[in-house]
Amino acid sequence: MKFFVDTAEVDEIRELNALGLLDGVTTNPSLIMKSGRDIMEATREICAIVDGPVSAEVTAVDFDGMMGEAEILSKIADNICIKVPLTFDGLKACKALTSAGHKVNVTLCFSANQALLAAKAGATFISPFIGRLDDMAIDGMEVIAEIRKIYDNYGYATEILAASIRTVNHVKEAALIGADVATVPPATLRALVKHPLTDKGLDAFLADWQKTGQRIG
Give the residues lining the site for ligand E4P (CB under 6 A).
6, 26, 28, 107, 127, 129, 131-132, 163-164, 183
Q: Which one, 67 or 86, has the nearer CB to ligand E4P?
A: 86
Q: What is the DSSP letter of 166?
A: -
Task: Tell me which residue of 101, 1, 9 sits closest to 49, measured CA to CA.
Answer: 9
Q: Which one, 119 or 163, has the nearer CB to ligand E4P?
A: 163
Nearest-10 Cα torsion for 57, 164, 189, 115: -80
Question: What CA–CA distance (Å, rounded) separates 118 from 157?
Answer: 11
Q: Which one, 107 or 124, has the nearer CB to ligand E4P?
A: 107
CB of 197 to ligand E4P, least distance (A): 29
Q: Which one, 26 or 114, has the nearer CB to ligand E4P?
A: 26
In the bound complex, which residue of the shown chain has the CB atom lying closest to ligand E4P? 164
CB of 191 to ligand E4P, least distance (A): 15
CB of 185 to ligand E4P, least distance (A): 7
Active-site hit among 75, 83, 92, 103: 83
Determine how many CB atoms are found less than 10 A away from the CB of residue 12. Answer: 18
CB of 209 to ligand E4P, least distance (A): 42
34 catalytically annotated? no
Taking CA atoms, 72 is separated from 56, 65, 217, in Å, by 11, 11, 55
Q: Which residues are catalytic?
A: 83
